[in-house]
Amino acid sequence: MTTVSRRNVLSLGAALGLTTALNPATQAWSWAPSQSIAGSGTGVDPQWVWDPEIDQIMADLITSGKTASTNTALRRWVDNGQTVPRELPSDLRDWLERKTRLPDWADRNLLLRSGDVNRKLDTHFLILYGVGGGIMSTVIPREAKSVYWSKGGADMQDRAAKTFTFGYDMAELRGYEPEGQFLVTANKTRIVHAAVRHLLPQSPHWRAVADETIPISNHDILVTFHSTGTFAHMKLKEWGFLRNKDDDYAFLHSWQVALSQLGVRDEYIPSSWAAAEAQSAQILTPILAPTQEGRNLAEQLLGLTAQIDFGVTRGVLNEFVRFLLGDQVGDWLGLRRDYAAAAFIRTAWPIYMAFRRGTIPILPVTYYAFDQFVRAFAMFFLNRGQDTKTTPIEIPDMNRP
């Protein structure tokens, strides 16, 4: 296993566009709650904060053998405006009725604007969330180990489809409105997290490699946010997008609401992108490292993507990962080099971005492959090609078989 040195972390931080004081990954929580949407906080480290009410509800549900019947009832609950199914256990139904709603501080106008931002930049988000955030998750040790040893790790195409559904529903033009689906999707994800928190500590395989006793704390959810939302924001700014301050803040606000829906306390949710980058520098950059589980997951994801017939070779895919995340990540994951592909990407991508910004009027036909790549990637993972009106997120009843 590659040693994570100070020099490696510096290189990786530069590759991700992050800055960090390079404190050890085990450092005490020091991010100021004054930078949060709450404006103050208890100072409790989010590594020790989970979701106690729903955690107990889901533990009782799984123990009593009600998982299958609950999943059956949840399948037809899709739109935000739908009534929570009456067939659900009463405690779960009551909890969902209370939680599947916008927080008091949410701004509906900003959320509508965020949908428009997502529509305009959909290609970019698909790349940054899917290839960037998706592969970065495999070098986040806790996330890689939790995913690999949970039920979802045994079927990465299905797991990717569910993760993609979360991002797709969040990006819908009216995803937070009654006709949208994100509030339902987010709360289904939240109850799945609670189920995993009950199941995974029972896995001797996970316990043998984990450095935590209960997975998916508020800290872990924030790390995932930074590997997707904060990472995407920094890359989009680097590429010349989100110059409009209102659009920039609307994009942040959609993530603020998403974090709240996932059970993150207000005192940990950044109030600005500057606050988000400061938090990311403390809790994401220093912890990135290779694991056997992460390498396995990355190979599965890249292998699945390479099966798509969009005319892009595995060499191009490997080099695109290196382009987005840096050579350190590529080396950790053992991605074979293709120097011709690397040269093409580094030359072609700025031109493609200029076309997307509207600064060049016509895209050369050879660059059409980028659009094809993104759209094929989306269609492959989005619910395995099924009806997008379904939300294929179900409660697990076991760990990795």
Cα of first residue to Cα of last residue in the chain, in angstroms, is: 26
Confidence of residue 245 (pLDDT cuts 50, 70, 90): very high
**Is the model's pLDDT at 103 over the cut of 50?**
yes
101's CB contacts (< 8 A; 6+ apart) are 183
C-alpha 88/C-alpha 86 separation (Å) is 5
Q: What are phi and psi of 109, to 5 degrees?
A: -65, -40
Q: Three-state DSSP class for 36?
A: strand
pLDDT of the residue at 383: 47
Q: Based on C-alpha coordinates, what's the Rg of the chain? A: 20
C-alpha 252/C-alpha 256 separation (Å) is 6
pLDDT of the residue at 237: 96
This prediction has a pTM of 0.89
The whole-number average pLDDT for the span 170-177 is 91
Return the domain boundaries, the chain: 109-176+215-389
C-alpha 24/C-alpha 308 separation (Å) is 40
Residue 25, token pair as written in the block: 């990954």
Confidence of residue 50 (pLDDT cuts 50, 70, 90): very high
The whole-number average pLDDT for the span 167-178 is 89
